Amino acid sequence: MRINLKRGAWTFGDRVPKKFNTHIQKSVPYYEEGHELIKKLSDFFLTNKTRCYDIGCSTSLLLTKLSKFTNKKDLQFIGLDVEKAMIKFSKKIIKSKKIKNVKVFCKDITKYKFKKSNLIISYYTIQFVNPAHRQKIIDKIFAALNWGGAFIFFEKIRGNDARFQDILTSLYLDFKEQNNFPASDILKKIKSIRGVLEPYSNFGNKSYLKRAGFKDVQTIFQYLCFKGYLCIK
């Protein structure tokens, strides 16, 4: 299933939401397995009458999974996304499934004021935020968490040096080729995310977290250039 691509103009709006779930599962290694891991981790942090945020919720697939998985009472699952088309699509899905405890909002997270929460998730989202705003966002997340709460942070990362970066990039292109992406589409995607997707190294991400105040950070997932962190306040 193809998504139209233009140089330096990747967007999650327009008609992307309808194709997003199929596309992303073929583009990001172990995408669904990451969801399963987050579901199980939520047991350690969500309690009755608490709140969970998903930053960059896209089609709200993860939030709907979490709402069905948890056995806690009076939970609020809140999805935030800057793309109106994604939120519109999400609301239709949530309504069709009659899910009462998931709410989604079209908001810019650089300006959004979080309420106190036990769990905040960013599943491959911060990498799309302008680097000038990233530290402020991580700071806000840390401040919004209750003591003992968690920030689950998945990102695409750069290699530690040029040699590692070349290896990771090469193997990731193999992955996309194995998932039957035409070579022309792979090249168009690379061009389309210029200036849109800006991943940092593991060191860069950990520096953001440390400056925000996170001292307890554990790697919970990594496959090539895709990495997940569990950060506890």
Q: pLDDT tens digit string along 30-41?
A: 999 999 999 999
The pLDDT of residue 13: 52
pLDDT tens digit sequence for 114-147: 999 999 999 999 999 999 999 999 999 999 999 9
Residue tagged 């079209």 (tokens): 106
CA 189: distance to chain centroid? 19
Per-residue confidence (pLDDT) for residue 8, from 0 to 100: 47
CB 42 within 8 A of CB 52: yes
pLDDT at 155: 98
Does an H or E element contain 163, and which? helix 162-178
Q: How many CB atoms lie within 10 A of CB 35?
A: 15
pLDDT score, position 1: 45
Question: 75 with 50: CB under 8 angstroms?
Answer: yes
Banded model confidence at residue 9, pLDDT cuts 50, 70, 90: very low
Q: How far apart are the first and last CA of the chain?
A: 40
Residues in contact with 198: Cβ distance below 8 Å, sequence separation at least 6, in sequence order: 127, 128, 130, 131
pTM of the model: 0.93
Mean pLDDT for 17-46 is: 94
Q: What is the pLDDT confidence band of residue 91, given thresholds at 50, 70 and 90?
A: very high
**What is the rounded average pLDDT for all residues in the chain?**
93
Q: Beta-strand (E) ranges in the chain?
A: 51-55, 76-81, 102-106, 117-123, 145-158, 200-201, 216-223, 226-232
Where do the domains of the chain lie, and which CATH numbers do they carry?
16-158+199-232 (3.40.50.150)
Average pLDDT of the residues in 206-214: 98
Amino acid (one-letter) located at 39: K
Q: Is the predicted pLDDT of residue 4 greater than 90, yes or no? A: no
Task: Give the pLDDT mean for 43-72.
Answer: 96
Tokens coding 83: 């793309």
Token code pair at residue 177: 């080729």
pLDDT at 183 over 70: yes
Q: Calculate mean pLDDT across residues 43-55.
A: 97
Mean pLDDT, residues 159-172 taken together:
97
